[in-house]
Chain A
């Protein structure tokens, strides 16, 4: 393909990126952000898929089958946990204004400058080869596309150099704009998201073309592959020799990488707009991974099938296949996809590294130097801030130069995939310190430093050393004989450990020493007060939210102007005024009232100075200022800067422990209080319910009394009236007199009966009644009861019938009470007869499950459904006197119900108006369990 055309397209594409980034920045300035949505966020995370994914996966798939997929599966498996893990990291970083993994670890472990520098060193050494890899990918894809000389020739190196140069300019223009590293780079993010989209589309295009265009579908492609033994072998992991251990190692490495690689930290944490965006990114990002990997294996197989034996590197299949098929445009598109994958990785990685290098390697040294004279302090700070910015630009160039140098020196002989995995293993060394830092308060700076040093050392020994073996570097004897001829120092089998693959072996040993030293040293030496405070801030970030709840370490009488000078120097006038205003809003009263006015008013300031009363800065302002500076120069340098104006940060043990304890106690007290208030609420509810019940009972009592007295008055009235007649008319006829006396007797009897019923009912209701149980024959009781009411039935012209089988089992019951119930039901049935129609009453009984059921059936006037429950209430009848003439006391059913319930039985009615009624009584066959016997009766005897 025409070289000029490819160059023109590449340059055109990169210019397009400039345009996009520029537009995004403009929109951002106009507060119409293009990137503040979860889709751009998820796409920008896809910077994880580099040129290595684009080209290298193909090579790995062509040689090792499915194992390439693990590198993208790992992030997918980790994604659901982001809601716990990444959200916590984002929250911590936002609160503490941290902008890189070095910031994070340094701040967590006592704002240690040494640890920050160490982390930065590991990142640079681990990641520069990875960047070199991207440059190599661009260069070799250019060579393949243009059909130029062999890979590594002059044209490839020129392409690499140009790429590195253009990307350096882009990164400096859009990635290093402000000294405040917490500032988000909307232009970069949008460009990266766009590049992610482009590489996905390009990859899908070539995938679809190969699978459907060249082979006619997945099934056909796999059919053809199955016919080739070398490819058939790749269908399984067993065939490729991928062990479970290697699979797991790759998973762990990719999980570490997606969380902790500097570029991932940059896009996922620093460029995060809102924690809510994680919700969508959690599934969008893995979906992206899945889609982009869908065609890798088929295309790799297709490449081997179509191009096998023609000396093509499998890494270049995505380009070579369309070219061989005579589709140069598709090949060009694919090339641009690869270019975007490489460039986005280089840009973001370089930004992240440049900030780390400047803030952790350079600034801690510079900020220790005091200003020449106090008078020029502000200018000195401003100078430092400019140095910080310029040093980042320099670092961008330096990183890219290093990467290019690495590519030229050794990189071009390396296969794509190994270098990437070795980089992953380097950042995996941060995992113990990061996870421990987030969830374990006991981790200390000493432990983290020792663990990291050991892990890094072993990483270098087991994973890097073998790659350096070559004619110009190391002799192969190192691998086979061990370093210095010592057999236990073989990089591939350290301490004689064999049987693991290269990566698993390296990861095992490096993590073994890393975790061991981190935990061991943390436990061996107690944490300092500052570490303890920081541990609390990190681990409990979701519990304690505000700055105010943090323990302020800066004390003493620091003049406010000094603090302001510091801020003005680093942030500039505008930003300082903004920040102080925000502070004053959050903590009203923390700044002296004059301060607001003095902010932009040098005369007031002078006045203060003349009066010799420097205003003292609030400790909270010092903490706030430290955070602001941490966002600019990193936490370690910020602490040093503040120490320069406020003296050492003084956190005493007793203070931290006291405050931690206090806050713990506060938390605990709060929890207790909530618990108690809930209990109180419940008690109140119960009381209210009890009160309502009492009220209802009281009302019922009143009603009952009223009804009883009413019922008593009726016979009394007639007795009195008759007695008066008898007294007033001594000459009454004998027959008449006898009739009256008889009536009086009958009414008195009714009165007595009523009173004894009421007493009965009271006995039942108060629970004093007891049953005199014994085996009772229901047929006997039924016949007896029918005999007892036979007289009444005859008077009313009703017919009584008993249909009770004689062979029913005996029921444990109180015979007399049961009789009372039956007589009551029978007499009710007799009374219910409709005038003019002969009553017909049947008593039935039968056996049900575990119970015996009795039924008294009549053909009387029936009971409406609405009243079927109420008739068992006492005096229900009496209360409805208006509806019908009362017959009986109105207590019969209520007492019957009580008796049946005392037997653990049930009583109910089925009826319809004018259809008669059926009263059912159910009695359990087994006597209820007796009251629990005393424990261990044998002991008491």
Chain B
């Protein structure tokens, strides 16, 4: 049996967990009840608040994923 030492790379494992954390965090941020807080008719710079909230968080999620996947 070739001895391919089963040592999971600790930094890789950490990175995976960080990414999982980001996914869970944003899943909570982008769901009710938090979503409900922005679910009102108000507008920011002409753009509906809810629309803006979703788009900005989405962008933040992509940026966080990009940062962690480098």
Report the separation of the CA atoms of residues A674 and B10 in the bound assembly, to the nearest whole angstrom: 15
Given contacts A77-B23, A247-B31, contact A287 B47 (CB under 8 A): no
Contact string against B for A residues 60-86, beta-carbon threshold 8 Å, 1 for contact and 0 otherwise: 000000100100010011111101100
A235 at interface by CB-CB < 8 Å: yes
Select one of A219, A235, A244 contacting B45, CB under 8 A: A219
Contact B69 A290 (CB under 8 A): no
Q: Kindly list chain B residues whose C-beta atoms are within 8 Å of the C-beta of A226.
A: 43
B residues 22-70 in Cβ contact with A at 8 Å? 22-23, 26-27, 30-33, 35-36, 39-41, 43, 45-48, 50-51, 54-55, 58-59, 61-66, 68-70
Greatest chain A CB density within 10 A among B33, B62, B66 is at: B62
Contact present for B58 and A83 (CB under 8 Å): no
Q: A residues 231-263 with Cβ under 8 Å of B?
A: 232, 235-239, 243-244, 247-248, 251
Fill in one digit per residue for B1-13: 1 if any A CB lies within 8 Å of its CB, else 0. Answer: 1101111100000
- The answer, yes or no, to whether A498 is at the interface (CB within 8 Å) is no
Which residues of the partner chain B approach A543 to less than 8 Å between Cβ atoms? Answer: 6, 8
A294 within 8 A of B: yes
- The residues of A that contact B51 with a CB separation of less than 8 Å are 66, 235, 297
20 contacts between A and B (CB under 8 A): A76-B62, A77-B23, A77-B61, A78-B23, A80-B23, A83-B16, A84-B16, A222-B43, A222-B46, A223-B46, A235-B48, A235-B51, A236-B41, A251-B27, A279-B70, A282-B69, A283-B62, A290-B55, A290-B62, A548-B1
Does any Cβ of B come within 8 Å of A286's Cβ?
yes
A546 at interface (Cβ–Cβ under 8 A)? Answer: yes
The distance in angstroms between the C-alpha atoms of A238 and B36, with both chains bound, is 8
Residues in A neighbouring B32, C-beta threshold 8 A: 243-244, 247-248
- Beyond A236-B50, A283-B63, A674-B7, list 6 extra A-B contacts (CB 8 Å): A69-B54, A83-B19, A236-B40, A238-B36, A283-B69, A287-B62
Closest to B36 in A: A244
Interface size on B, residues (CB 8 A): 44
The residues in A between 210 and 239 inclusive whose CB is less than 8 angstroms from any CB of B are: 217-220, 222-223, 226, 232, 235-239
Q: Which 7 A-B residue pairings sit nearest by Cβ, starting from the closest?
A: A219-B46, A244-B32, A80-B19, A283-B66, A235-B48, A80-B23, A283-B65
**Interface residue ranges, A against B (CB under 8 Å):** 66, 69, 73, 76-81, 83-84, 217-220, 222-223, 226, 232, 235-239, 243-244, 247-248, 251, 279-280, 282-283, 286-287, 290, 294, 297, 542-546, 548-549, 666-667, 670, 674
Q: Closest B-chain residue to A217, C-beta based?
A: B46
Q: Are A244 and B23 in contact (CB under 8 A)?
A: no
Q: Is the interface of A mostly helix, strand, loop or mixed?
A: helix
A78 to B64, CA, bound (A): 13
Partner of A238, one of B39, B47, B61: B39
CB <8 Å contact, A76 and B22: no
A70 CB, min distance to chain B CBs, angstroms: 9
- Contact (Cβ within 8 A) A286 B65: yes
Residue among B26, B33, B36, B69 with max Cβ neighbours from chain A (10 Å): B69
Report A-chain residues with C-beta under 8 Å of the C-beta of B20.
80-81, 84
Residues of B within 8 A of A223 (CB): 46
Identify the closest chain A residue to B22 (Cβ): A80
Query: How many whole Å from B50's CB to the nearest CB in chain A?
Result: 6
Give bound CA distance, A287 to B62, whole Å: 7
Contacts of A237 in B (CB 8 A): 35, 39, 50
CB distance from B22 to the nearest CB of A (A): 5
Shortest Cβ distance from residue B35 to the other chain A in the assembled complex, whole angstroms = 7
Give every chain B residue within 8 A of A290 (Cβ-Cβ). Answer: 55, 58-59, 62
Measured between alpha carbons, how far is A666 from B40 in the docked complex, in Å?
Answer: 59
- Chain A contacts for B58, CB-based, 8 A: 73, 76, 286, 290
CB-CB < 8 A to A280: which residues of B? 69
Interface residues of B (CB under 8 A from A): 1-2, 4-8, 15-16, 19-20, 22-23, 26-27, 30-33, 35-36, 39-41, 43, 45-48, 50-51, 54-55, 58-59, 61-66, 68-70
Q: Which of A77, A237, A297 has the most CB of B within 10 A?
A: A77
**Complex: A410 Cα to B22 Cα, angstroms:** 43
- Determine the residue in chain B with the shortest Cβ distance to A77: B27
Whole-angstrom distance between the Cβ of A238 and the nearest chain B Cβ: 5
**Is B4 in contact with A546, judged by CB distance below 8 angstroms?**
yes
Cross-chain contact B6 with A670 (CB below 8 angstroms) = yes
CA distance A667 to B8 in the complex (A): 12
Select which of A218, A247, A545 is within 8 A of B46 by beta carbon: A218
Task: Specify which chain A residues have a CB less than 8 angstroms from the CB of B40 in the assembled complex.
Answer: 236
CB–CB A244/B54 < 8 A:
no
> A residues within 8 A CB of B31?
244, 247-248, 251
List, in ascending order, chain A residues with CB within 8 A of B4's CB: 545-546, 549
Check B54 against A73 for contact (C-beta < 8 Å).
yes
Question: Looking across the interface, which residue of chain A has its beta carbon closest to that of B38?
Answer: A236
Docked Cα-Cα span, A545 to B39, in Å, equals 49
How close is B65's CB to chain A, nearest CB, in angstroms?
Answer: 4
CB-CB under 8 A from A544, the residues of chain B are 6
Which residue of chain B has its CB nearest to the CB of A242? B39
Minimal Cβ-Cβ distance residue in B for A279? B69
List residues of chain A with CB within 8 A of the CB of B69.
80, 83, 279-280, 282-283
Contacts of B55 in A (CB 8 A): 290, 294
Q: Would you call A80 and B65 a contact (CB within 8 A)?
A: yes
CB of A542 within 8 A of CB of B8, answer yes
Cβ-closest chain B residue relative to A246: B32
Bound Cα distance from A244 to B39, whole angstroms: 11
In the assembled complex, the Cα of A666 lies from the Cα of B68 at a distance in Å of 34
Whole-angstrom CA separation of A243 from B4 in the bound complex: 51
- Within the complex, the shortest CB–CB distance from B31 to chain A, in Å, comes to 6
Q: Is the CB of B47 within 8 A of A73?
A: no
Tell me, in angstroms, the Cα distance from A239 to B1 when the chains sit together: 64
Chain B residues with CB below 8 A from A239, complex form: 41
A contact residues around B35 at 8 Å (CB): 237, 244, 247
Which residue from chain A places its CB closest to the CB of B58 in the assembled complex? A290
Return chain B residues, CB-CB under 8 Å to A247: 31-32, 35
Chain A residues with CB under 8 A of B19: 80-81, 83-84, 282
Beyond A77-B26, A83-B19, A280-B69, whether A222 also contacts B36 by CB under 8 A is no
Of chain B, the residue at the smallest CB distance from A545 is B4
B26 to chain A, nearest CB (A): 6
A546 touches B46 (CB 8 A): no
Residues of the A chain whose Cβ atoms lie less than 8 Å from the Cβ of B61 = 76-77, 80, 286
How distant is the Cα of A666 from the Cα of B6 in the complex, in angstroms? 10
Specify which chain A residues have a CB less than 8 angstroms from the CB of B47 in the assembled complex: 218-219, 222
CB distance from B6 to the nearest CB of A (A): 5
Q: For the complex formed, measure the closest distance between the CB of A226 and the CB atoms of chain B, giving whole angstroms.
A: 7
B65 near A282: Cβ-Cβ < 8 Å: yes
Residues of A within 8 A of B36 (CB): 238, 244
Compute how far the CA of A860 lies from the CA of B58 in the bound complex, rounded to whole angstroms.
Answer: 74
With both beta carbons as reference points, the residue of chain B lying nearest to A294 in the complex is identified as B55
Q: Within the complex, which residue of A66, A244, A549, A666 is in contact with B33, where a contact is CB–CB below 8 Å?
A: A244
CA distance A237 to B48 in the complex (A): 11
* Measured CA separation A294–B55 after assembly (Å): 8
